[in-house]
Structure 1
Amino acid sequence: MVRTNFICFLMNSFTISFFIFIILGIKKVFGKHITSKWQNNTGFLFLIILAVPFVPSRIFDYRTLDNFTFNRINTKQVAEAGIAENAGNGALVHAADWIQDFGVSANHIMPGYLILVLIGLWIAGIFILTFFITAGGFRLGRIRKSVVLLEDNEIKGLFDECCNMLKIKKKPAAGISDFISVPVTTGVFRPYILLPSATLKQFSTKEIKYIFLHELNHYKSKDVLINWIMTGFQVVYWFNPLVWMIFKQMRTDREIACDASVLKLLDEEFFSDYGYTIINFITKLSDTSHIFMTASLGGTKKELRSRIKKIAVYTRETTRMKIKSFLIFTGLSFFLLSQISVVTQMAYTEKYNFQGKNVVYEDLGTYFKGYDGSFVLYNMKTDQYVIYNKDKSITSS
């Protein structure tokens, strides 16, 4: 069972890679027609796809979606074609189960020791990444111990003003630290917005205001929590480079969306000032921005270059642009939802849904003389199972 699930998990990963290309392709084609906010939101669809294989079917039965999705149409067409073509021998093609079937077949074809080696490598990769993340957590803990809460009344008043502009009632703590060189937002349960100690000396009040607005947008959007979720998925899917690639893109999209949220609050004459504030941090970057559990004003120079380009061409979102963005996002959501059963195979370890109301137990012992077997017949029209020997019917071979 474990080996079969692992093979299915690997197949799911390859299928997810296909969805990554779809998401990136749609963003490439429709990039100019989607606002920064909705481009950022497409990342949440990807997080859902990554989570699907790990949600047991007893919590949510994904097959209920088949009535509203393309998979229902595809399965029906293939089933009808299978019935017509194989009426003589009663064979039936089940398109929805192709990954599960392939996973089981691969489990039988691949040597058992090879599957165990792959499982061992996967677990080893998880332990190694967890070690580095834990080390980053300790480093972050040392940074937080060094924090000195804001004492300057003018800066504290500026922080409160920014919170009011963003309509934030539950304010995070704000402080400075000698151990960072870029502003960061950290903490899920005890959030902090931290500034490098040199910021108060090297930047004007107006620039500090822009920094507060940017980091408070991270706080308002729960980006630190999202970082934790992304990090968790990166640990599990560490062997898939496309997962790392799209997470990197998601972080860039998040920063661009955050920049756009700040620009919405400013008059156009201050757009360039905000851009120059970000540029001023380029030469002051450190690896602080690579601590997974934080959201930061910084990033790589390539990411900063992309953000500056977006700021330079930023215009106010029109109603038409918002509608187009929503429609494109909805279309992409529907497409991914329609194919969600393709990545639910690991969730269907308990593949059949025996609930009592849709099960009839028959005594067919006279047909199994001398054999210890079982019989299961599923009626698709009535959603009913006819079962002989329940214990054997739910035993994995």
Structure 2
Amino acid sequence: MERMFQIILVTSFYSSIVGISIIIIKTLLKNRISPKWHYIIWIILVIKLIIPFGPESTISIFNKVPSVITGVNITHVSGEAINTIQNKQTLNEQTNTNPSEITLDNGNKKYSINFYLSYVWLLGALLLICALLYTNYSLYLKLKKYSGNLNERVDMIFKEVKSEMGVNKSIQIIFQPIVNTPSLFGLFKPKIILPIEILDFSDREISYILLHELAHYKRRDILVNYILLIFQSIHWFNPIIWFCFKRIRDDMELATDQKVLSILQGNEYREYGRVLLKVLESLSSTRFSPRLIGIVDDKKNMEKRIKMIKMGGFFKSKRPIAFIIGFLCIVIMGLLLLTSGKTKDEKDINKFQAFMDSQTFKILVSPEKYALTMSSTIGIKLQPEFVGEAKTIQYYTSEGKFAGLDISTGKVEEYGKKLTLTYGIPVYWLPLIEEGLGKEGDKATVRIEVYNENHNVIAEKEIIIVFKDGFYAVVPNEGIIIGTNSQTKIDYPKTIDKAVSSAIIGRASAYKQGKVATEGHVILDSEEKDGIVKVYTVASYGAFGFENGVFTFVSGSGSIPTVIVFKKNNNNEYILKEYKEPMDGSYYTNSIKDMFPKKLWDKVLNPNNFPEIRKQQEEQATKYLESIGRKAEVISNYTERKLANINVQASNKLFSEYTKFDQELNKFPYWLGTIEKVEDGVRYIYETSQSKTSDGYDLIIFTKKKEDGIVVKEYKYKIVGGEPKLVE
């Protein structure tokens, strides 16, 4: 609904420009074109309301109109632009930075002001359309009561008038006391409704009135009138559209009069004008009725009609010239008003502006590529440089998180997805493993805003980080300097075995984070052609961490048949191009056969027949323990986890519900035992244990302590029935 309202607003704005332009042109032309062409010119506005955005043109008037399009995909919008808009909207949602948001339902739902305005617009449009339908249907029912009222005199006059106008369709005449002016009513079964007072008019006067109504029918004005009413209901908030429609109806009456004059003789023009004045004086309507097509008009436009009638002979004699001028007006105005402005110029301006911005606001990025296994950096370093008075920098990311490095202590400080830092302090972006970022082609959008002392945004820039070929890298753009101040060199593997190991480790982000990443693999076969190397393997990724004092397999995969494709560069180094695993479920066997040559089917269809894969992972985990000077049992299988023996309802609340809202509580194991985490360079032991209270209730204790046994935090929950209660 919000998007539809935005489209209506833009359409209404552009149509208003068209309407004002038409009025100006009509004023300049005046009597140089006939009333018929004055009326036809309005077709440009109707087309604009139906199709607001036409083909691009260098002569379009909209090249001079500032863009008012916000969030509406109209024409020639690139996929990258759409992604940028969507990413920015996503960032705003995640960081709560949209100033027009209104929070309801305890902050769970957020709606923009445009959301409410769109429903106000819809309500207004529906009310007007309902009022239109009601009044027309109500009049239809009332007229049915008088449909049998016939007059032989008027019927004879009507037959002659129909012959003069060339109308063969059966059109009913109804005499009624409801509408006090001659009018045409009904789209599919048109009727001419006449007030009873019309019988006091002479035969010739009645014929002029009937000619006028038949001219409306002949010109299909009743259809145009309903189209205008629908657009008027849709654009009810726009007074310019209402004014233009009033002018269209005025011109409709003038064009209808010209149609009547084309049938009459020159000596009848004066008499026809006198009848118009007589109808205005004696039959002007004061009763409520729907918007009808009738002979009566307001006094101001009636004056124009009388003047036009006086010039009827002039327009009849100048018909060829009027046609040429009118036709040329339609063509020229169509080229000017029904086309859209060229986007090329706008893009060039945007590019130039982006270039100028890049000279004052730059982002220094290093390293050029980042992998989780790199020890030389904690992430992608972002260092803003701004020429001007910058006070603070705000960072937002759609995926991953930010971190900082304390040079004095070497400790890493994690900041989350949003932070504000004093200008000059660098920040690091790193993937958040739990989010699963790390699949080929995954993207993260980072927005960086520069603020002055008054906390006003003076510059902003977005960067895109893409995961490709096992590395995270920033997409090059204006003002982004990649590789600056970077001492990191990307060393690609030079053997197939090391290349396979690196590729498997790169899949680490697809699983939960452990203390150390390990991999195991068996190369079954390989083939090389034109510098492309395809390796057929059985591979496994495993993350090891401390649980209950044992260094065990905490997350990862089993042995998976995998095809890994590399490209060899000029240095005979292997660069990852594709990492393909079989499909799950019923597609598993067929996808294996599609991936592997037939000679390997028997081996890969039984991938668990490779015990050496687990041994490789255990060896890597053991080497890690040696590197940190720690001795512990290494187990490549999942260790048994003993759950708390308490009420099931209480267990679900404590270990499922409470941990969702308490990040600290979520760090503790959901079983009885311990896990270890390293935070800011300090190793902590998180323990969950169970005991009894003095009055016999079960007690669950969460204890956070250092390696030396010093307790940092402790939480105790007393289990009373199905309810865990925190013990102070």
The normalised TM-score by structure 1 is: 0.71
- State how far apart, in whole Å, the 1-side matches of 2:337 and 2:181 are: 37
Q: Is the 8 A contact 2:59 2:336 kept in 1?
A: no
* Equivalent residue letter for 2:38: Q
* Equivalent residue letter for 2:254: I
Residue aligning to 2:20:
21
- State how far apart, in whole Å, the 1-side matches of 2:61 and 2:268 are: 53
| Alignment partner of 2:467 out of 363, 368, 381 | 368
Q: CA deviation at 1:323?
A: 1.8
Residue aligning to 2:271:
273
- State how far apart, in whole Å, the 1-side matches of 2:71 and 2:264 are: 55
RMSD of Structure 2 on Structure 1 (CA) = 3.4
- State how far apart, in whole Å, the 2-side matches of 1:36 and 1:137 are: 29
Q: CA deviation at 1:272?
A: 1.1
- State how far apart, in whole Å, the 1-side matches of 2:152 and 2:61 are: 64
Name stretches of at least 5 consecutive residues in structure 2 with no aligned partner. 73-84, 93-97, 102-110, 344-439, 444-465, 476-728
CA distance 1:365–1:123, change in 2 (3 Å): closer
- State how far apart, in whole Å, the 2-side matches of 1:193 and 1:340 are: 46
Q: Determine if the alignment matches structure 1 residue 254 to structure 2 residue 252.
A: yes
Residue aligning to 1:339:
340
Q: Percent identity?
A: 26
* Equivalent residue letter for 1:70: T
Residue aligning to 1:301:
299
Q: Is the 8 A contact 2:59 2:335 kept in 1?
A: no
Residue aligning to 2:138:
139
- State how far apart, in whole Å, the 2-side matches of 1:141 and 1:150 are: 15
1:167-222 CA distance string (max 9 Å, x none): 1122322231122221110111111112111211x200000010111000111111
Question: What SS does the corresponding residue of 1:174 show, helix, strand or coil?
Answer: strand
1:104-158 CA distance string (max 9 Å, x none): 7999664343112211221221133134223322332244213345644342222
Question: What SS does the corresponding residue of 2:178 show, helix, strand or coil?
Answer: coil
Q: Is the 8 A contact 2:284 2:296 kept in 1?
A: yes
- State how far apart, in whole Å, the 2-side matches of 1:136 and 1:371 are: 68
Q: CA deviation at 1:260?
A: 0.8
Q: Is the 8 A contact 1:147 1:177 kept in 2?
A: yes
Residue aligning to 1:360:
none
In the TM superposition, what are the counterparts of 1:166-245 in structure 2 within 5 Å?
Answer: 166-200=165-199, 202-245=200-243
Deviates more, 1:280-289 or 1:32-41: 280-289
* Equivalent residue letter for 1:368: F
Residue aligning to 2:327:
326
Deviates more, 1:203-212 or 1:305-314: 305-314
Question: What SS does the corresponding residue of 1:16 show, helix, strand or coil?
Answer: helix
- State how far apart, in whole Å, the 2-side matches of 1:139 and 1:371 are: 71
Residue aligning to 2:58:
70
1:286-320 CA distance string (max 9 Å, x none): 1469622x211112222222222222333243222
- State how far apart, in whole Å, the 1-side matches of 2:155 and 2:306 are: 28
Q: Determine if the alignment matches structure 1 residue 11 to structure 2 residue 10.
A: yes
Residue aligning to 2:447:
none
Q: Is the 8 A contact 2:150 2:173 kept in 1?
A: no
Q: Is the 8 A contact 1:147 1:176 kept in 2?
A: yes
Larger radius of gyration between Structure 1 and Structure 2? 2
Q: Is the 8 A contact 1:149 1:173 kept in 2?
A: no
- State how far apart, in whole Å, the 2-side matches of 1:16 and 1:289 are: 30
- State how far apart, in whole Å, the 1-side matches of 2:286 and 2:176 are: 15
Question: What SS does the corresponding residue of 1:298 show, helix, strand or coil?
Answer: coil
CA distance 1:177–1:29, change in 2 (3 Å): same
* Equivalent residue letter for 1:334: L
Q: Is the 8 A contact 1:8 1:99 kept in 2?
A: no
Residue aligning to 1:57:
none
* Equivalent residue letter for 1:269: N
CA distance 1:340–1:214, change in 2 (3 Å): farther
- State how far apart, in whole Å, the 1-side matches of 2:99 and 2:49 are: 27
**Structure with the higher strand share, 1 or 2:** 2
CA distance 1:276–1:72, change in 2 (3 Å): closer
Q: Which has the higher contact order (CA 8 A, sep 6+)?
A: 1
* Equivalent residue letter for 1:267: Q
Question: What SS does the corresponding residue of 2:31 show, helix, strand or coil?
Answer: helix
- State how far apart, in whole Å, the 2-side matches of 1:97 and 1:36 are: 34
- State how far apart, in whole Å, the 1-side matches of 2:324 and 2:285 are: 39
- State how far apart, in whole Å, the 1-side matches of 2:230 and 2:180 are: 26
1:27-65 CA distance string (max 9 Å, x none): 110122111111111222211111115xxxxxxxx77x4
- State how far apart, in whole Å, the 1-side matches of 2:307 and 2:61 are: 44
- State how far apart, in whole Å, the 2-side matches of 1:314 and 1:44 are: 23
Q: CA deviation at 1:365?
A: 7.2
Q: CA deviation at 1:21?
A: 0.9
CA distance 1:157–1:246, change in 2 (3 Å): same
- State how far apart, in whole Å, the 2-side matches of 1:176 and 1:74 are: 51
Residue aligning to 2:366:
none
Q: CA deviation at 1:73?
A: 12
Q: CA deviation at 1:333?
A: 2.3
- State how far apart, in whole Å, the 2-side matches of 1:340 and 1:195 are: 50
Name stretches of at least 5 consecutive residues in structure 1 with no aligned partner. 54-61, 76-94, 343-362, 376-397
Q: CA deviation at 1:277?
A: 0.6
- State how far apart, in whole Å, the 2-side matches of 1:35 and 1:169 are: 27
CA distance 1:249–1:100, change in 2 (3 Å): same
Q: Is the 8 A contact 1:185 1:193 kept in 2?
A: yes
Q: Is the 8 A contact 1:143 1:177 kept in 2?
A: no
Q: CA deviation at 1:9?
A: 2.7
Question: What SS does the corresponding residue of 1:147 show, helix, strand or coil?
Answer: coil
- State how far apart, in whole Å, the 2-side matches of 1:257 and 1:236 are: 26
Residue aligning to 1:389:
none
- State how far apart, in whole Å, the 2-side matches of 1:271 and 1:143 are: 36
Q: Is the 8 A contact 1:40 1:254 kept in 2?
A: yes
Q: CA deviation at 1:256?
A: 0.5
**Structure with the higher helix share, 1 or 2:** 1
- State how far apart, in whole Å, the 1-side matches of 2:442 and 2:250 are: 63
Q: Is the 8 A contact 2:5 2:121 kept in 1?
A: no
Q: Is the 8 A contact 2:135 2:289 kept in 1?
A: no
CA distance 1:291–1:154, change in 2 (3 Å): same
- State how far apart, in whole Å, the 2-side matches of 1:269 and 1:306 are: 20
CA distance 1:29–1:73, change in 2 (3 Å): closer
Q: CA deviation at 1:281?
A: 1.4
| Alignment partner of 1:282 out of 269, 280, 283 | 280
Deviates more, 1:331-340 or 1:237-246: 331-340
Question: What SS does the corresponding residue of 1:182 show, helix, strand or coil?
Answer: coil
- State how far apart, in whole Å, the 1-side matches of 2:197 and 2:238 are: 40
The normalised TM-score by structure 2 is: 0.40
1:229-261 CA distance string (max 9 Å, x none): 111101100000011001000001000100111
Deviates more, 1:250-259 or 1:170-179: 170-179
- State how far apart, in whole Å, the 2-side matches of 1:156 and 1:223 are: 23
- State how far apart, in whole Å, the 1-side matches of 2:130 and 2:442 are: 56
